[in-house]
Amino acid sequence: MAADPLSDEQREIRDLVRTLARDRIAPRAAEIDRTAEFPWDVVELFREHELFGILYEEEHGGLGASSLLALVAIEEISKVCATSGLIIAVQKLGSLALRLAGTDEQRERWLPRLASGEWLAAYALTEPGSGSDSAAMRTEARREGDEYVLNGSKRFITNAGVAELYTVFAKTGPGEGHSGISAFVVEASTPGFEVGRIEPKMGIKGSTTGEIFFNDCRIPAGNLIGEEGEGFKIAMRVLDRSRPGIGAQGLGIAQGATDYALEYAKSRETMGKPIAEHQLVGGMLADMETKCEAARGLLYKCGQLIDDGVDGPELTKISAMAKLYCSDVAMEVTTNAVQILGGYGYIQEYPVERMMRDAKITQIYEGTNEIQRLVIAREMAKENRAFLLAGVA
């Protein structure tokens, strides 16, 4: 892979995102965290500069969908504000089912509103009793004539209360396990749809995370994505392509913390010299930078493979690897950044304590890292590498 796989046009967009992040979003980051209010001004900034468009094809009002460029944008924004980076990541997550399995009519109806940022999207899979075990979901969708009637609830839904469009997974075949799950589009204005408690959180405080309820929620039968029973397969295809976005968020947090810790260590003096010149601190910084760069190589490779149309086991494996490694690096690097700042790292006046809190969730949502390790190991077990051992005694 090239050291910088971006085209000239993509570099221009990256530089725009980097400038917006530095000049417009960074000054807001601490306040967003302090108030825990959803940053509509950041959404408006993204709309103004057509940043949502990088997620969508030109035929739907986008700039030409590129997973690699989307990952770069999420990374750049997350360097200064993980909440703001998540806005782009979840817009992709919430609309991928439509892009992958929707009809032309469905795409034409909803994707232009998402590409412009007029509407925000959300992805509703997790329930109070089913996180990693999707087959245990209890939300049901019952067909009645030309409608489906949804009943049940979802939990830990990012963008709850601010999204206008939800990709919802529900059982159309109770008792059929994964094969009984179907996918639907639900608009927030639909009667019977209700947003419940918005959770107070340790990190990404400006992002809404909440419960949603379906109480005899009637939607047109045309809101079914794909066919009945295909919901689990659609959900997994979505996650293969969206999990790297969480990796990009983690990488951005890690690189932002590294950059801040480096500048601090160059200016903070002890024993007559900057602490960056002390071997132990210098060694920590070197490890932080190396791990960020390694994570970036894995993440960008994943983005390129998605753009090249790679699907199936190869994508599943590298997607899980990218999410796992980038988020683990985020947690390790931000913890070390706090350590380098010492007492200052532990107080809210400095951003690294926020970065450390924000980093933790990247190891949990869109599949815990324990699940990612299971996925990677499962795919490895399917591979035949015996030829590598030929001739080895």
Strand partners, 169: 183
Q: Is the four-CA dihedral 268, 269, 270, 273 of positive or negative sign?
A: positive
Q: With contact defined as beta carbons under 8 Å apart, do 47 and 117 qualify?
A: yes
Which SS3 state, helix, strand or coil, does residue 168 take? strand
Who's near 8: CB < 8 A, 6+ residues apart? none
Q: Environment class of residue 107 by beta-carbon count within 10 Å: exposed (0-12), middle (13-18) or buried (19+)?
A: middle
For the chain, helix, strand, coil in percent to 5 are 60, 15, 25
Beta-strand runs (E) in the chain: 121-124, 140-144, 147-158, 165-171, 181-187, 193-198, 209-220, 224-225, 269-270, 273-274
Provide the residue count of the chain: 393
Question: What tokens were used for 357?
Answer: 């809190």
Please tell me what DSSP assigns to residue 127: B
SS3 256: helix
Catalytic residue among 366, 370, 379, 383: 366
Reply yes or no on whether 366 is catalytic: yes
Residues annotated as catalytic are: 366
